[in-house]
Amino acid sequence: MKKILLTLLLLTTAFCAKGQTAHESVKSPDGRMEATFLLLDGCPHYQLTRDGKPVVALSQMGFLLEWRDDLAHAFVLKEVQRSNFDEVWHPVLGEEANISNHYNEMLITLEQPVGSIESMDHSTETRPTVMQIRFRLYDDGLGFRYEFPMRYNGIDNALVCFWFKEELTQFVMTGDHTAWWIPGDYDTQEYNYTESRLSQIDSLWEKSHEHGGWPWTDFSRTGVQTALQMRTDDGLYINIHEAATLDYPTMHLNLDPKTFTFRAWLCPDAAGYKGRMQAPCHTPWRTIMVCDKATDALRSRLILNLNDPCALDDVSWIHPVKYMGVWWEMISGKSTWNYTNDFPSVKLNPEPGNSQSSILNSQFTDFAHAKPNGTHGANNANVRRYIDFAARHGFDALLIEGWNIGWEDWYGKQKDFVFDFLTPYPDFDLPALNKYAHEKGIRLIMHHESSASTVNYERWMEKAYNLMNQYGYDAVKSGYVGTIIPFAEGHYSQPINNHYHYAIVEAAKHHIMVNAHEAVRPTGLYRTWPNMIGNESAMGTEFRERIHPGHTTILPFTRLQGGPMDYTPGIFEPDMGKIVPWGKKMQHTICNQLGLYVTFYSPLQMAADFPEHYEPYLDAFQFIKDVAVDWDTSIYLYAEPGDYIVTARKPKVSSLNKAADGVGQLPDGKKNVISNASRYVYAIPDTVSIFNFQFSIPKDTWYIGGITDENAREFAIKLDFLQPGKTYDAIIYTDAKDASGIPDDSYNPYGYTITKKKVTSKTTLKLRMAPCGGFAVSLRER
Ligand code: NOJ
Ligand code: CA
């Protein structure tokens, strides 16, 4: 789908008639950054400097409104309030146990005085119009948002219910920076990144769409999505994104390449509005991260800090998940989601289980008597095979897709009632499989593919979550493939963003963790709603050979700034031609896949390949078994977007066995199960099958992961983060000399070497990565 919206906006500073002029500034706690609010002839603007040099030049602020005068001129400055804040908070799951939230704040109150503008009915407004702008300046960036109080100084705000036609916020860059970008799109984020100068975005627009997702709905040849990572010629790393996007459309950016000016471009709803507001209310934070080094951008917690604290009183049910899945079989083409080839068209019963349903006078598809196609992946025997493997190797959970009726005609058909999320196929015994899994210490992960019919998902959601509660599922992977229903909405408009949030809040009431695919890219909301355990919302492993080398070195700078990604790493057989005749070669080595478990933060981490693809390489698979997924400390050793990342992480011991402990609390669950990550950290021998952790002491443990693009690289890694005076056992997984993920004659993704040695905090490891390769190291105190 290709749609160019020819919307020419008269967005200029011509609004600025004669009016008040003022400027007010706030500095970052370390004094290096300064954000200045400027009112120029009544028109709001801002700018941002670091060490006295401009980072964002003079940029316009405000809104165009439907039916009413704009919020961009005729303002007077009423009040400036300043404050500061300094706290350390502790995420439920995260990249580190302690997060510093330290900022200086400036709240600007602006007013369009009575008599200065027209009201909605074209008479003169009889109440003052109040808009506030809250700036929060951190050492690593700026956040600002617009706020609309219901009342100010005891007087009702003229703004009550109002509709945005356009947000005017600009981000004026100071030069032709290098950027890592994906094209602006109302429906998909599943793109490879393009690295280019800002001035090249227009000419690279067609190329940027190669290999991307579907459906796609663009709006401009210079439109890009956030988080947008840039680097200036002076080596400054600037990242534009947003935080805490709730009840508001997603912000893309549209570039004027002549002036290097980005303007906020909100995803419209079906009626074309870009925000339906009701005071008191506020927009999301607009964020500009500024760092001297690429590694500092990975260390930044700007987006999380701008989100509200946890909204849940009880978070005891939220835990990290390392999982496998009956999934890659379908993605690779080895098996199918659908159970039968009998039905070109499926009609589901709106009252499942009631064959006499009177709601619709229709024939419903009878799966009980359908002929199985013999390729259905989610069958009892296959699911049991995966449960056995996952349990044997100390995983927490197993995802099964294609368990519920309706997959015969789900894709691209734009069906409203596409799934009921309740009725299993005849060969998927839901109660028995859950019991089988629980008795082995494994949870099953539910799958809800909404097929982008949000209306239908909401129709069934309560019943679907109840079914999960009944059988002991505590995590769901949801999906939004296809054209959004209600029709004419995009994936990131305000009403659909509200749907994603509704699903999270309702899930929390049921103690369910959510991993949404194709939903809006996250903006740090998992601080407030930590049951948002994962998201895809970018091009993940499912794109196989279409993923460019280096893609995974960019995602932590962009997509992951907003929250963890269910990237689904761990493909040990990347030559897909060995699975199906049409398969092509994926561009990575086995060690590259190992490195991803550390370079990518996600408390929900998959080992995505088939058991039979791990069997020949169980010594390398050991790293996936041993690695943790929730962290006490993270150290970003080397990074450059598009090139490489090397990260070291120390596990958070308190959450290591939480998933396994949770299974033990189920009536049919196995007690005292040991996750393999716990086994590694506590040095529990393989001969011990159940264990009580109460009086045991964990060993100081670290993991290091490295990944590279198509270029081989070598890094010297100083282990000076280890405790001095202690000796550690290191297991080092590196690409073999002849390993390569380049799909030409040199292709050898399978070659690796495993070295075991004693190290201390004084050791430096020299580790080489092959083209499209990587490495992984586990370090445990003796
Ligand atoms: C797209 C998701 O990203 C993928 O993981 C899933 O298997 C399919 N949709 C089907 O739901
Ligand atoms: Ca997807």
Q: What is the pLDDT of residues 559-580, one digit of tens each?
A: 999 999 999 999 999 999 999 9
Distance (Å, rounded) from C-alpha 164 to C-alpha 37?
Answer: 22
Q: Which of 166, 167, 542, 573 is catalytic?
A: 542
Would residue 462 show up in a list of annotated catalytic residues for this protein? Answer: no
Q: Look at residue 358 in the predicted model and tell me its pLDDT.
A: 58
Q: Which residues contact 590 (CB under 8 A, 6 or more apart)?
A: 572, 617, 620, 739, 749, 750, 752
Model confidence at 15, pLDDT cuts 50, 70, 90, reads very low
Instruction: Work out the number of other CB atoms within 10 angstroms of the CB of residue 434.
Output: 21
Task: Give yes or no for a contact between 545 and 533, defined as CB atoms under 8 angstroms apart.
Answer: no
Over residues 171-185, mean pLDDT: 98
Per-residue tokens: 550 = 């280096």
Q: Look at residue 6 in the predicted model and tell me its pLDDT.
A: 31
Stretch among 323-337, 615-629, 689-703 having the lowest mean pLDDT: 689-703
Distance (Å, rounded) from C-alpha 221 to C-alpha 216?
Answer: 13
Instruction: State the burial class of residue 414 (Cβ atoms within 10 Å of its Cβ: 0-12, 13-18, 19+).
Output: middle
Q: Is residue 213 predicted with pLDDT exceeding 90? A: no
45 within ligand 1 shell (Cβ under 6 A): no
Task: Give yes or no for a contact between 62 and 170, defined as CB atoms under 8 angstroms apart.
Answer: no
Q: What is the pLDDT of residues 481-530, one digit of tens each?
A: 999 999 999 999 999 999 999 999 999 999 999 999 999 999 999 999 99
Task: Give yes or no for a contact between 302 and 140, defined as CB atoms under 8 angstroms apart.
Answer: yes
Average pLDDT, the chain: 95
Q: Look at residue 354 in the predicted model and tell me its pLDDT.
A: 78
Distance (Å, rounded) from C-alpha 733 to C-alpha 768?
Answer: 10
269 within ligand 1 shell (Cβ under 6 A): no
Nearest CA to ligand 1 atom 3: 517
Q: Look at residue 437 in the predicted model and tell me its pLDDT.
A: 99
Q: Is residue 688 predicted with pLDDT exceeding 60? A: yes
Quick one: CA dihedral 399, 404, 408, 410, positive or negative? negative
Instruction: State the burial class of residue 566 (Cβ atoms within 10 Å of its Cβ: 0-12, 13-18, 19+).
Output: buried
CA of 629 to the centre of ligand 1 (A): 22
Helical ranges in 515-617 per DSSP H: 551-554, 590-599, 611-614
> Hey, which of 214, 400, 401 would you mutate to test ligand 1's pocket, going by the most ligand atoms within 8 Å of its Cβ?
401
Question: pTM for the whole thing?
Answer: 0.96
Q: Is residue 629 predicted with pLDDT exceeding 80? A: yes
For strands 285-291 and 532-535, give the pairing: unpaired
Q: Is residue 126 predicted with pLDDT exceeding 90? A: no
Over residues 127-150, mean pLDDT: 98
Q: Look at residue 2 in the predicted model and tell me its pLDDT.
A: 35
566 within ligand 1 shell (Cβ under 6 A): no
Over residues 631-655, mean pLDDT: 98
Rg of the chain, C-alpha, whole Å: 27
CA of 479 to the centre of ligand 1 (A): 6
Task: Give yes or no for a contact between 650 and 633, defined as CB atoms under 8 angstroms apart.
Answer: yes
449 within ligand 1 shell (Cβ under 6 A): yes
536 within ligand 1 shell (Cβ under 6 A): yes
Over residues 4-32, mean pLDDT: 67
Q: Look at residue 357 in the predicted model and tell me its pLDDT.
A: 59
Ligand nearest to the CA of 212: 2
Over residues 92-119, mean pLDDT: 93
**Among 183, 181, 136, 130, CA closest to 157:** 130
Over residues 256-270, mean pLDDT: 98
Instruction: Work out the number of other CB atoms within 10 angstroms of the CB of residue 11.
Output: 17
Classified as helix, coil or strand, 663 is helix
Cis peptide before 426 (omega within 30 of 0): no
Distance (Å, rounded) from C-alpha 642 to C-alpha 501?
Answer: 32
Model confidence at 361, pLDDT cuts 50, 70, 90, reads low
* Identity of the residue numbered 123: S
Over residues 618-643, mean pLDDT: 98
Classified as helix, coil or strand, 575 is strand
Model confidence at 454, pLDDT cuts 50, 70, 90, reads very high
Distance (Å, rounded) from C-alpha 272 to C-alpha 344?
Answer: 36
Over residues 695-715, mean pLDDT: 97
Task: Give yes or no for a contact between 257 and 199, defined as CB atoms under 8 angstroms apart.
Answer: yes
For strands 237-243 and 155-156, give the pairing: unpaired
Ligand 1 atom closest to 536 (CA): 3
CA of 542 to the centre of ligand 1 (A): 8
CA of 580 to the centre of ligand 2 (A): 21
CA of 758 to the centre of ligand 2 (A): 42
Q: Is residue 17 predicted with pLDDT exceeding 60? A: no
Q: Look at residue 10 in the predicted model and tell me its pLDDT.
A: 34
Place of tokens 């006078």: 361
Over residues 160-183, mean pLDDT: 98
Q: Look at residue 120 in the predicted model and tell me its pLDDT.
A: 66
Model confidence at 757, pLDDT cuts 50, 70, 90, reads very high
Ligand 1 atom closest to 327 (CA): 7
CA of 214 to the centre of ligand 2 (A): 9
542 within ligand 1 shell (Cβ under 6 A): yes
Quick one: CA dihedral 535, 538, 543, 549, positive or negative? negative
Residues with CB under 5 A from ligand 2 (ion): 517, 536
401 within ligand 1 shell (Cβ under 6 A): yes
Q: Look at residue 382 in the predicted model and tell me its pLDDT.
A: 98
DSSP E strand boundaries for 377-441: 397-400
DSSP E strand boundaries for 611-700: 631-640, 644-651
Q: Look at residue 5 in the predicted model and tell me its pLDDT.
A: 33
Tell me the sheet residues that pair with 48.
Answer: 35, 56
